[in-house]
Structure 1
Amino acid sequence: MNISEGYEIRTIHHEVRSLHAQWAAFLAENGLREERVDFTLGIFGPDDTLAGTASLCGNIIKEVAVAAPLRGGPYTAALVSRLLAEAADRGHSNVMVFTRPEYGSLFKSLAFRPVGSSSGAVLMESDPRGLSTYLRSLSTLRRPGRNGVIVMNANPLTQGHLWLIRRAAARVDNLYIIPVADNDANEFTYEERIAVLRRSTASAGNVTVCPGSPYTVSASTFPSYFIKQVTDATDIHIALDLDIFARCIAPALGAVVRFAGSEPSDSLTARYNELMERILPESGIEVVVMERLECDGVAVSASAVRAAMRRPSGLAAVAKLSARESIPYVMAHMAVEALRSELATTPKPGLVDSHDSGAHRDMDFHLMQRGIDSLAPWFAAIAVAAWRGEPGAAIRALGVEAEAAMFRATGGVNTHKGALFCLGLTLAAACRLVAGGAMPSAAALQQAVAQEAAGFEQPEDTHGGVAIRRFGRGGALASAREGYARVYSSWVPFLRSLPGPDTDAARLLALLRIMSELDDSNILYRCGAAVADEVKARSLELSRQLEAHNVCEAMRVLNEEFAARGISPGGAADMLSLTLFIDKIIPT
């Protein structure tokens, strides 16, 4: 796009290293640091040097910098106009800009309205009704009395969060909780977090969970929060966020006090609390920082729950630290994480991984990722339904909807139908056990899965159904009706016996063990009984020969052969996902 003789606006493709380096250097020259962006434009001069830039991150314009000789002319306006058009193409109706104060007048001339400011930054938005609409929605929740506010991420909601809520609610007439809304880095979605908050506080008569927004601890007001680094820009971000809270959010709710938990380990949150105690009282808002709840001498935190999710037997710690309503969501995420770990394990023989597509021509790594993403909310729905004691028919109906969502996301390709069945079934059974007050032992979970599977009829059109008719073996439902016995007797114990169980090498060795013992319906269906028996025998031989230091190279060679012969041990891949999940939820 030509904007003047000798200057033009072009897209900066960050995958081109030289362009990215030129962009980063220009930012540094103008007092800015690199942050995550989705799309970048640059003004390039006659000698192809960068003379200006601006970027989009979601609906936020950021990283705005223009060389001094060009400021005040048409260049920056043209740059921003192009970004606004790009944002509209991406479906963003309200575009926000986080920039330095010297660019404020430019954005005002482009019909942006100020939202908040600090000494080194200004936040503006293109929708003249954006902030005012949100404030009106908050004002409808306002009740008379002494009102307080907690802003929390609750990723996920823990016993520590509930401790803070109960103590704060006892000190005010009305307590308003505002959940962080737009955090792409969160493990748990906004919808999940606000649902848990509302269920967990439903019986508290003076607690109201407000809708989150981009105006409170968001990527717009406080970008440092989402990269968890204290930098020279942190204080600017915090002051901007607190300015909006003091001038807009607190008055809408009639709030005169803000509560927060103490922060013994996160330096960024500790700095936020420190500045909050300094800034908000200047606007007549009291700040109360309460000591955190401790468990075994350590502050209860959402990060501790997230760490426990990824440890063997981590469910016990999850249940101890989490709010009760969080637990089914955490368990669902543990199931999804097992799928992601299986997919990422590389190199797998004949299977899709981060290196290639194995024996498959209809799917690749990115399509598999889309399949997993499509299933994630349905695993949560299955977990919550089982937690609430809904009957097996309701769980099966959710499974049918989940399968349809997967096919929509993948264009009709079956990426995870088998994994959905075995993980969904086990997730439901485990949630029923935990909801009843019992940590799932191997025996209890095996029995519960078998009971859950009893309500299913053998389908005729699946690979397993065909394998049973042709060869009298295989079939996911038959394994489920046994409660996936080998998972507990062989595969999880073997995985746990390996050094570094959370490594590609350990997962590949576990996959070999599974392949040596499983009548894989996918191989039976695609290649017949003779090949299925050959795969089992070779896998057994390899599992006896290989160790962590040489398994990856051996599997790479095996993958080349399986890909050429069209052998895909998809049933074993599903069982590896199930093994990884059960490893996290049953005791050692």
Structure 2
Amino acid sequence: MIYSAEKIHLRNPAEVDEIKKFLEKFQLDFEKNIDYTVAIRENGQIVATCSKSRDILKCFAIDPSMQGTGITNILLKSIQDKLFEEGIFHSFIFTKPVYETIFTSLGYKVVEKVDKVVLLEGGMGGINKEIKKIASEFSIDSSKPKTALVMNCNPFTLGHRYLIEQSSKSSEEVLLFVVEENKSLFPFKVRYDLVKKGVSDLKNVKVIPGGQYIISSATFPAYFLREAGEFLEAYTTLDAKIFANYFCKKLNINKRIVGDEPYCKVTNAYNKALLKILEKSGISLETVKRKEGENKTGFISASKVRDSLRRNKGVNTEELSDLIPGTTIEFLLTKEGKEIVEKIISSHTPH
């Protein structure tokens, strides 16, 4: 029999429901951020499906009776044709370890794997090229040991500044990776610029875009969902292993510093996974107690900043000066800053 992949119309509830029911057989959820889905049918029934979210292939499932028939190639070609149409020439596959050999036989390479998930990539580029590019662009000397931090900074606070300052004092060189995924209320470009301005006096700190391999939709989707589901441990461990086995080894990072996490379960779980994985690789993890506000407002956090903006329906300079540096306040008062503040006031997004 000749099989062909059909496009699923994501605005058609009946078609999406059919995919959801098929995926349930494989303990897979049809994720909200999916933008393209294909399926293969036999006698009118779905026997295989694959979806994508931007450059990430996911929700891949084939009925056991159909495995070995070559329909994986058909699914993959259909998704890749869509990627090429969108000008995307490098892609990731998030799948169960049982499917690893299927994709490696089709040219994909394993980036990292844990018990429940495996992350593969294919096409132009790749993680080793990405790290080589970072080393070149930011003049990173891999012969010298370094300290690393990874931050989202949504927005940049005095708490972030304190953590970076402590790292700067205790380390010869600090690599500060700013999460690049654009799923926060403050866009990446804004967050990156605020961090750079906020630490411009710390000459041994290099501010680096986090890219696709550090807390991204490919490595750690649960971070952006803020959901402590059954795959949380898998995602946190996957991201931690990628950091240890690639970034630490290639850039000679021997220490990572994190702030303690009394609020968020996801970040707390991530810190625990980091500790476990980094120690195995001989890399130390230092946890620094969060900075408290001067006006007895408790620990400083970006969520408190956003809460203040919502509660005051704008910038309360006196209240925020206890939480954020002058550079962040200045930005909030610009035209672009005011537009973001308006979004925050009308939003309940947790991250």
Give TM-score scaled by structure 2 length. Answer: 0.90
C-alpha distance after superposition, 1:466-495 (max 9, x if no partner): xxxxxxxxxxxxxxxxxxxxxxxxxxxxxx
Identity of aligned residues (%): 26
Structure 1 residues 321 and 340, CA gap change in structure 2 (3 angstroms): closer
Q: 2:339 aligns with which of 327, 336, 339?
A: 336
CA contact (8 A) 1:138 1:252 kept: no
Match of 1:169 in 2: 168
Match of 2:113 in 1: 117
| Whole-angstrom CA distance in 2 between matches of 1:103 and 1:127 | 19
| Whole-angstrom CA distance in 2 between matches of 1:308 and 1:334 | 15
Match of 2:85 in 1: 89
Q: 2:102 aligns with which of 93, 102, 106?
A: 106
| Whole-angstrom CA distance in 2 between matches of 1:217 and 1:291 | 22
Alpha-carbon shift at residue 271 of structure 1 (Å)? 0.6
Structure 1 residues 312 and 212, CA gap change in structure 2 (3 angstroms): same
Alpha-carbon shift at residue 297 of structure 1 (Å)? 4.2
Q: Is residue 129 from structure 1 mapped to residue 125 from structure 2 by the alignment? A: yes
CA contact (8 A) 2:186 2:340 kept: no
Structure 1 residues 92 and 323, CA gap change in structure 2 (3 angstroms): farther
CA contact (8 A) 2:185 2:340 kept: no
Structure with a larger share of its residues in strand: 2
Match of 1:178 in 2: 177
Alpha-carbon shift at residue 338 of structure 1 (Å)? 7.3
CA contact (8 A) 1:148 1:174 kept: yes
CA contact (8 A) 1:8 1:45 kept: no
Q: Is residue 10 from structure 1 mapped to residue 18 from structure 2 by the alignment? A: no
| Whole-angstrom CA distance in 2 between matches of 1:177 and 1:207 | 7
Q: 2:38 aligns with which of 14, 38, 41?
A: 41
| Aligned-partner SS, 2:322 | helix
Structure 1 residues 139 and 265, CA gap change in structure 2 (3 angstroms): same
| Whole-angstrom CA distance in 2 between matches of 1:171 and 1:337 | 35
| Aligned-partner SS, 2:150 | strand
Which residue identity lines up with residue 323 of structure 1 in the other structure?
A: P
Match of 1:19 in 2: 15
CA contact (8 A) 2:110 2:119 kept: yes
Which residue identity lines up with residue 203 of structure 1 in the other structure?
A: D
Match of 1:240 in 2: 238
C-alpha distance after superposition, 1:315-344 (max 9, x if no partner): 123343123322233344553257769xxx
Which residue identity lines up with residue 46 of structure 2 in the other structure?
A: L
CA contact (8 A) 1:149 1:178 kept: yes
CA contact (8 A) 1:138 1:253 kept: no
| Whole-angstrom CA distance in 2 between matches of 1:95 and 1:114 | 12
C-alpha distance after superposition, 1:153-181 (max 9, x if no partner): 11111111001101122221111001111
Match of 2:195 in 1: 197
Which residue identity lines up with residue 320 of structure 2 in the other structure?
A: V
CA contact (8 A) 1:11 1:40 kept: yes
| Whole-angstrom CA distance in 2 between matches of 1:145 and 1:23 | 51
Match of 2:302 in 1: 302
Structure 1 residues 328 and 25, CA gap change in structure 2 (3 angstroms): farther
Match of 1:318 in 2: 320
Which residue identity lines up with residue 192 of structure 1 in the other structure?
A: V
| Aligned-partner SS, 2:11 | coil
Answer with 321-330 or 331-340: which moved more: 331-340
| Aligned-partner SS, 2:256 | strand
CA contact (8 A) 1:224 1:234 kept: yes
CA contact (8 A) 1:142 1:254 kept: no
Which residue identity lines up with residue 69 of structure 1 in the other structure?
A: S
Which residue identity lines up with residue 332 of structure 2 in the other structure?
A: V
CA contact (8 A) 2:90 2:125 kept: no
Matches within 5 A, 1:355-434: none
Structure 1 residues 78 and 323, CA gap change in structure 2 (3 angstroms): farther
Matches within 5 A, 1:339-358: none
Which residue identity lines up with residue 307 of structure 1 in the other structure?
A: D
Match of 1:256 in 2: 254
Higher relative contact order structure (alpha carbons within 8 Å, sequence separation ≥ 6): 2
Match of 2:153 in 1: 154
C-alpha distance after superposition, 1:163-205 (max 9, x if no partner): 110112222111100111123x211121111112222222212
Stretches of structure 1 that go unaligned for 5 or more consecutive residues are: 342-500, 504-588
- Give the aligned CA root-mean-square deviation in angstroms: 2.2
Q: Is residue 281 from structure 1 mapped to residue 279 from structure 2 by the alignment? A: yes
C-alpha distance after superposition, 1:225-247 (max 9, x if no partner): 11110110111111111111111
| Whole-angstrom CA distance in 2 between matches of 1:263 and 1:72 | 47
CA contact (8 A) 2:178 2:209 kept: yes
C-alpha distance after superposition, 1:496-530 (max 9, x if no partner): xxxxx989xxxxxxxxxxxxxxxxxxxxxxxxxxx
CA contact (8 A) 2:111 2:242 kept: yes
Which residue identity lines up with residue 40 of structure 1 in the other structure?
A: T
Which residue identity lines up with residue 240 of structure 1 in the other structure?
A: L
Structure 1 residues 337 and 275, CA gap change in structure 2 (3 angstroms): closer
| Whole-angstrom CA distance in 2 between matches of 1:156 and 1:221 | 22
C-alpha distance after superposition, 1:426-479 (max 9, x if no partner): xxxxxxxxxxxxxxxxxxxxxxxxxxxxxxxxxxxxxxxxxxxxxxxxxxxxxx
Give TM-score scaled by structure 1 length. Answer: 0.55
| Aligned-partner SS, 1:321 | coil
| Whole-angstrom CA distance in 1 between matches of 2:336 and 2:308 | 12
| Aligned-partner SS, 1:309 | helix
| Whole-angstrom CA distance in 1 between matches of 2:255 and 2:72 | 41
Match of 1:377 in 2: none
Match of 2:70 in 1: 74
CA contact (8 A) 2:109 2:120 kept: yes
